[in-house]
Amino acid sequence: MAHFRKYYSNSSALSYFIPPRTTVVGILAGLLGKERDTYYNEFSLKKCNIALAIQSPIKKSIQKLNLLMIKSEKDFNGSAEYPSQTATELIIPQNLQKGYIDYQIWVTHEDDKIINNLENLIRKEFVGYFSKGISVALGTAYNLGWLERGHILEGKDVKETSPIEIDSVIPQNYCGEIFIEGTADGQYRLIKEEVPLEFDNDRKITSRGLGNMIINLTGQPVKAKVDSFVRLEDGKNIMWME
């Protein structure tokens, strides 16, 4: 399971379906050993491109979690009389018995040194943890994540007037039309979700820092007319989150 808390959540812990761009940036910075809140400019929309795709079908489940009610230091040991029941959205596989949560992420950066360092950390022949800083845990011990099959791909920018299958999530601002006719039954479970993209150095969302993404929860490519996209050497077509 996974939980990517929505920044405006208060009494209920709501979750995005995908890790927002800001979350991915935090993971990358943690892998590289960057100090907290020091890397926002280094991974700005201007300097770093990130695309993301769901690789296996997912859904949401809401659970009531008993959290510690913290009003003073002594409450950290759980001695508070009443826990705080919090409704929490969890991202879970569509098939709970056999499924798992899997995202594919593509990254470019104007600084070749950063890309080379990331490549050295994640381009391994076995699954494991190679972080110079935080782990890839996205929460407590039962929300661990890991990286695998990291490698370098070449790509080129393409402008296309006819519909094309896009493998990543699609920024709504760059999507003209989505084609559903002729698709297999159940191939599309589309949602639109506004996700944070960029913080400034004060950890505030910038003027470009929010974006609506079109997401297919089945993990299948979406046929659409888009302004432009990146065609990778492995045949996949992706769009940067912006």
* Domain residue ranges of the chain, discontinuous segments joined by +: 21-238
Q: Which of 9, 13, 11 is nearest to 139 (CA)?
A: 13
21-33: average pLDDT: 91
Q: What per-residue confidence (pLDDT) applies to 126?
A: 58
Pick the CATH number of 21-238 from 3.40.190, 3.40.50, 1.20.120, 3.30.70: 3.30.70
Per-residue pLDDT tens for 179-237? 887 666 668 999 999 999 999 988 899 999 999 999 999 999 999 999 999 999 999 99
157-179: average pLDDT: 93
β-strand partners of 226: 175
Per-residue pLDDT tens for 105-115? 999 999 999 99
Other C-beta atoms lying within 10 Å of the C-beta of residue 61: 12
Distance CA 12, CA 89 (A): 8
Quickly list H helices, 75-178.
Answer: 112-122
Q: What per-residue confidence (pLDDT) applies to 142?
A: 60
Radius of gyration of the chain (CA): 19
* E strand spans, 24-129: 48-54, 58-67, 84-93, 103-109
